[in-house]
């Protein structure tokens, strides 16, 4: 990789940011200023990580010399090598994220597909998987909307993921996910196949213009259907916004007031419209077209098989793992990295296969 990144270029960028931050009128536009400060923090952490990595390599060289005669040094060396491998893998993944919005937060939506109650339960399992993944990454997650299933699980859920490169990472998960298992909802104990889809959009800031005319919107309010507790609404504070030209519908019900729900819903709508425009411009890219497939057979990006054998396999990269429970508990970084490597190589083909 020639280092994690171009350190001299990064330092030069930091100097420019420091000059901006030192300007007397820097905080006049607080939102823009926050973006600059966040970029500075991201670059500072990246530089520190590279310095720590170089120090670790030097320490490993010393430990290697002692390891020939000292058992404790062997153990310490193995631990250090494992740590360095993890850091190098994380850095390589970030190098693959160079898109305009890859560093942004992500707006994600999960929709249950074919499979009835099993599919709705599967949608909830997927949501848990991504929440656990975000927790592993120390990302912040905000549930914006949930629609419970008729018997179990979820019909849909929309959530926001806040963290460095959240969109770039989560975009690798966009598409249809297929589950094969013995149904817990079928008294006959038959094997069932169910589907759920993941849609991902970058959260965009106010500096990116997305034209939304009031006449193109239909705004409906309704009573929240949350699970209860301190956030339950007793008035019609939940908001549903329909963008008439595109048919995009966004909802938010988890904020404390109708005004807050509408503001969040508009933010989600802006992100979805921005993503839609990107898809139009890059319609020839198969990875973007994947999210438009039917949520059923033949369109999945990944298979999760719990019966008759145990395997998680990505249909795009062919990467697979047999520790299904660990994957469903949020350990999906390897799947994301393999997808990003394939995408970077230009060999990403149309989604399909079993």
Examine the pLDDT at 247 and tell me if it is beyond 60.
yes
pLDDT at residue 284, rounded to an integer: 41
pLDDT tens-digit series, residues 54-78? 888 899 999 898 888 888 888 999 9
Reply yes or no on whether the pLDDT at 290 is more than 60: no
Instruction: Output the DSSP codes for 75-126.
Output: HHHHHHHHHHHHHHHHHHHHHT--STTTTS-EEEEEEE-SSHHHHHHHHHHH
E strands in the chain: 106-112, 140-148, 154-162, 175-182, 191-202, 217-222, 238-243, 248-252, 300-305, 311-314, 320-321
At 115 the pLDDT is 83
Which tens digit of pLDDT belongs to each residue from 252-283?
A: 988 888 999 999 999 899 888 888 877 776 65
Tokens matching residue 228: 């209860």
Question: CATH 1.20.58.410: which residues of the chain?
Answer: 7-95
- Which residues, at least 6 apart from 216, have a Cβ–Cβ distance to it below 8 Å? 243, 244, 245
Q: What is the pTM of this model?
A: 0.69
| Residue 286 pLDDT class (50, 70, 90 cuts) | very low
Fold (topology level) of 106-195+294-345? Alpha-Beta Plaits (3.30.70)
- Is the pLDDT score of 309 beyond 70? yes
Across the beta sheet with 311-314, the strand order is 140-148, 154-162, 106-112, 191-202, 175-182, 300-305, 311-314, 320-321
**Phi, psi dihedrals of residue 160, rounded to the nearest 5°:** -110, 130
pLDDT for position 135: 96
pLDDT band at 351 (very low <50, low <70, confident <90, very high): very low
Residues of the chain with CATH 3.30.70.1660: 106-195+294-345
Q: Please determine, for residue 289, whether its predicted confidence score (pLDDT) is greater than 50.
A: no
Kindly indicate the confidence band of residue 197, based on its pLDDT and cuts at 50, 70 and 90: very high
> Of 198, 272, 280, whose CA–CA distance to 241 is shortest?
272
CATH number belonging to the domain at 7-95, selected among 1.20.58.410, 1.10.1040.10, 2.60.40.10, 1.20.120.420:
1.20.58.410
pLDDT in tens, 81-127: 988 887 787 777 777 887 778 988 999 999 999 888 999 999 999 99
* H or E stretch at 13: helix 7-21
Instruction: Take residue 60 and report the two structure tokens written for it.
Output: 């490993």
Q: What is the pLDDT of residue 208?
A: 62
């Amino acid at each position: 990789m020639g280092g994690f990144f171009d350190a001299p270029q990064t330092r030069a960028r930091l100097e420019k940011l420091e000059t901006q931050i030192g300007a007397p009128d820097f905080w006049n536009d607080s939102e823009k200023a926050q973006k600059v400060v966040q970029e500075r923090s991201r670059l500072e952490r990246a530089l520190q990580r590279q310095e720590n990595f170089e120090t670790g390599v030097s320490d490993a060289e010393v430990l290697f010399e002692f390891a020939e005669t000292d058992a404790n040094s062997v153990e310490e060396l193995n631990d250090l090598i494992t740590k360095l491998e993890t850091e190098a893998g994380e850095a390589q993944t970030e190098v693959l994220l160079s898109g305009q919005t890859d560093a942004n937060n992500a707006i994600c939506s999960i929709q249950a597909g074919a499979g009835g109650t099993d599919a709705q339960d599967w949608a909830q399992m997927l949501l848990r998987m991504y929440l656990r993944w975000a927790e592993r990454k120390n990302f912040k997650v905000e549930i914006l909307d949930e629609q419970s299933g008729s018997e179990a699980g979820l019909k849909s859920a929309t959530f926001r993921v806040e963290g460095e490169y959240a969109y770039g990472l989560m975009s690798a998960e966009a598409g249809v996910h297929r589950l094969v298992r013995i149904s817990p909802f079928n008294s006959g104990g038959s094997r069932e196949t169910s589907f759920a889809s993941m849609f991902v959009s970058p959260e965009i800031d106010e500096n990116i213009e997305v034209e939304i005319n009031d006449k193109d919107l239909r705004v409906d309010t309704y009573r929240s259907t949350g699970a209860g507790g301190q956030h339950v609404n007793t008035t019609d504070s939940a908001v549903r916004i329909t963008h008439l030209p595109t048919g995009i519908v966004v909802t938010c019900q988890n904020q404390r007031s109708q005004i807050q729900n509408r503001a969040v819903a508009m933010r989600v709508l802006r992100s979805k419209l921005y993503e839609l425009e990107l898809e139009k411009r890059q319609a020839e890219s198969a990875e973007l077209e994947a999210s438009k497939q039917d949520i059923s057979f033949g369109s999945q990006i990944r298979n999760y098989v719990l019966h008759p054998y145990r395997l998680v396999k990505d249909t795009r990269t062919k990467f697979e793992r047999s520790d299904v429970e660990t994957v469903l508990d949020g350990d999906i970084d390897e799947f994301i990295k393999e997808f990003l490597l394939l995408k970077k190589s230009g060999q990403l083909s149309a989604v399909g296969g079993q």
